[in-house]
Structure 1
Amino acid sequence: MANEMYRIGPYQLSNPTILAPMAGVTDLPFRRLCHRMGAGLVVGEMLTSDISLWNSTKSRHRLRHDNEVTPKAIQIAGGDAEMLANAAQMTQQLGAQIIDINMGCPAKKVCKKAAGSALLKDEALVTEILHAVVAAVDVPVTLKIRTGWSPEQRNGVTIARIAEDAGIKSLAVHGRTRACKYQGEAEYETIRQIVEAVDIPVAANGDIETPEKAKEVIEFTGAKAVMIGRAAQGSPWLFREINHYLANGEHLPTIDRKEQAEILLDHIKQLHEFYGPVMGYRIARKHVNWYLKPVGADREFIKMFNSIESEADQLKTISNFLS
């Protein structure tokens, strides 16, 4: 289902599903996989706007976009307009085709630096940052926000209007405030108000775990797409399931064990290839945990798997478990 309405600058999304940027999760192997599974857009892990820190191993992996799916979307975070503008220029030079600004992350270490969703408190600074970044680059700039700073200060509509005025091309809105973190249920009323307040496309984010929920949220909010985060961990096929349901109103057959095994084994191989032998097996562990818990892996199995330190043994153990 091509969504005629979800356009970011020159880029038209092939599907109304977007992979949310998640630090430590949406690396290049996972982005490629989710794109193959139907995500209309995949966004890279958050990069700090302090480019002096880009030489760390973590940042070097986050900056890798070889054989990247297009459009290449890179997310930056920070609280200083000049630094963010500079970081945006650098990411454009590195091949970014869309630059996303993070004003949605509720993590303490991000917020205490007055970045992420902490910025929502300071509308003047938001205005300064968005104008500076949009002016600094020739590619579309998008923005990820929450519905506000706290349930008493849901200023998402104001922020959305500031964003549109600054030239932001699309918005992703998580249906919680900074104070809510990931607790309680996401609320979509504010997202609906934001959709009504601006003319740029809006993606709804938060607690969208099934095709039915995606349809319900799109119908309620009027959003042009849904952004999927934690629900895609261990279930990357959720994108194609949602796309199919939105297009046809019916469910795809449940993914069978054989295809799950093929996807997981290929994912593990890609992680080893990307990160190398030591980081590869360490990073594979959390993904395997996400894939296998829903299909009956108990604590003992996970503990045993987490002690394995080679690619071959990881692959063999998963194959045996799934067969």
Structure 2
Amino acid sequence: MVKIDNIELGEFPLLLAPMEDVSDPPFRAVCKENGADLMYTEFISSEGLIRDAIKSRQKLDIFDYEKPIGIQIFGGDEDAMALSAKIVDSTAPDLLDINFGCPVKKVVCKGAGAGVLRDIDLMVRLTKACVRSTSLPVTVKTRLGWDDDTKNIEEVAERLQDVGIKALTIHGRTRAQLYRGEADWTLIAKVKNNPRIHIPIFGNGDIDSPQKAVEYKNRYGVDGIMIGRAAIGYPWIFREIKHYMATGEVLAPPTIEERLTAVRKHLHGALAWKGTRTGVCEMRPHYASYLKGLNHVREFRTRLVTTDSVDEIEHIFDDIRTFYAREAEMA
């Protein structure tokens, strides 16, 4: 049984990665329904929380059905991170996660996210400030290092464990790589196999199939896997991995009906949480992912991203069902 502090996550938990503009409550709901064991909010700026920025505060919204869930924050100032940890504590998530891995330039330039990888002493101080300011278990998500010359993740893991973190997720790339190239899990395995390390170590990067999840589980010995981009528009990745781990069988891909049920749930969650106008607009990037791989889908996708009417979107969903039912009959 893998545990973060007193939070039980099962034998080999599958975690949903915190993704900016993706991992909001409507998206998390469909991932939870399909087997995600632990989820995280989008990352939240510590400075934004302190300024009471509306967008930052909204990201604190969590719901009982999502539990266990972690709220993730980022920043480069010890006082701001400590105060943010106290604010997060008051919203009663299951844990607080610190982002030391985001490679986006606007975050890095503020000395936050992966920008902290250039100053390990600062990373330790920021982490310590959070641990001291909350009663929640504190976890960290980070990368192997800043670049190929500074892959210091083994030192980072030991030092962060020493100041009190309860779990560590490692993305198998450097900041310099961004999301290019293949994730290197060999250093993740070294951290996991370090006799000094006793906290759970989760691997992240390039897991996009049940077969790869099981291969990496066996090869690298991590305690669990975090899945990010592969879950966008495909929340079934969690159930498929679990089924494959349990039976060795590959599940059939989701049916048209399952795709439509999931995208409808996501859409109506977005409308309820964000309001009609914002919900409709922010769903548009998701349609391509939910419909990926279907033949003759371009026309439907174009219609979905060019209408502002919820009724019309529902009508398009019905057209999709009818079209592919006819295709199946003719096959």
Q: 2:56 aligns with which of 51, 55, 59?
A: 59
Letter matched to residue 320 of structure 2: F
Q: 1:104 aligns with which of 101, 105, 123?
A: 101
Matching residue of 1:219: 218
The yes-or-no answer on 1:153 pairing with 2:150 is yes
SS of equivalent to 1:293:
coil
Residue 269 of structure 1 and its aligned partner are, at CA, apart by 1.5
SS of equivalent to 1:29:
helix
SS of equivalent to 2:148:
coil
Matching residue of 1:293: 292
Residue 255 of structure 1 and its aligned partner are, at CA, apart by 2.0
Matching residue of 1:194: 191
Residue 47 of structure 1 and its aligned partner are, at CA, apart by 0.4
Q: 1:74 aligns with which of 71, 75, 83?
A: 71
Q: Any conservation in 2 of the 1:16–1:243 contact (CA below 8 Å)?
A: no
SS of equivalent to 2:92:
coil
Residue 276 of structure 1 and its aligned partner are, at CA, apart by 0.9
Distance 2:66 2:134 in 1: 21
The yes-or-no answer on 1:176 pairing with 2:180 is no
Matching residue of 1:284: 283
| CA RMSD after TM alignment | 1.5
Q: Any conservation in 1 of the 2:23–2:40 contact (CA below 8 Å)?
A: yes
Q: Any conservation in 1 of the 2:303–2:316 contact (CA below 8 Å)?
A: no
Matching residue of 1:271: 270
Alignment of 1:15-54 (within 5 A): 16-50=13-47, 51-54=49-52
Number of residue equivalences: 318
Residue 247 of structure 1 and its aligned partner are, at CA, apart by 2.3
Distance 2:304 2:256 in 1: 19
Distance 1:315 1:177 in 2: 42
- Residues 30-67 of structure 1 deviation map (CA, whole Å, 9 limit, x = unaligned): 112111110000101100011234332x2243121244
Q: Any conservation in 2 of the 1:120–1:159 contact (CA below 8 Å)?
A: no
Alpha-carbon distance change, 298 to 256 in structure 1, aligned in 2, over 3 angstroms: closer
Residue 300 of structure 1 and its aligned partner are, at CA, apart by 4.7
Distance 1:67 1:317 in 2: 32
Residue 154 of structure 1 and its aligned partner are, at CA, apart by 0.6
Residue 143 of structure 1 and its aligned partner are, at CA, apart by 0.3
Matching residue of 2:306: 307
Distance 1:306 1:40 in 2: 31
Distance 1:79 1:194 in 2: 25
Residue 94 of structure 1 and its aligned partner are, at CA, apart by 1.4
Distance 1:38 1:166 in 2: 32
Residue 297 of structure 1 and its aligned partner are, at CA, apart by 5.6
Identity between Structure 1 and Structure 2 (%): 36
SS of equivalent to 1:294:
coil
Distance 2:136 2:153 in 1: 24
Q: Any conservation in 1 of the 2:50–2:80 contact (CA below 8 Å)?
A: no
Distance 1:305 1:297 in 2: 14
Unaligned 5+ segments in structure 1 are none
* Range moving further from structure 2, 39-48 or 240-249: 240-249
TM-score by length of 2: 0.92
Q: Which runs of 4+ in 1 moved over 6 A?
A: none
Residue 77 of structure 1 and its aligned partner are, at CA, apart by 0.2
- Residues 168-216 of structure 1 deviation map (CA, whole Å, 9 limit, x = unaligned): 1011111100000001111111111111122111111001000011111
Q: 1:90 aligns with which of 78, 82, 87?
A: 87
Residue 71 of structure 1 and its aligned partner are, at CA, apart by 2.0
SS of equivalent to 2:150:
coil
Residue 110 of structure 1 and its aligned partner are, at CA, apart by 0.6
The yes-or-no answer on 1:130 pairing with 2:127 is yes
Matching residue of 2:205: 206
Matching residue of 2:254: 255
Distance 2:296 2:126 in 1: 46
Matching residue of 1:142: 139
Distance 2:232 2:173 in 1: 20
TM-score by length of 1: 0.94
Distance 2:57 2:133 in 1: 23
SS of equivalent to 2:98:
strand
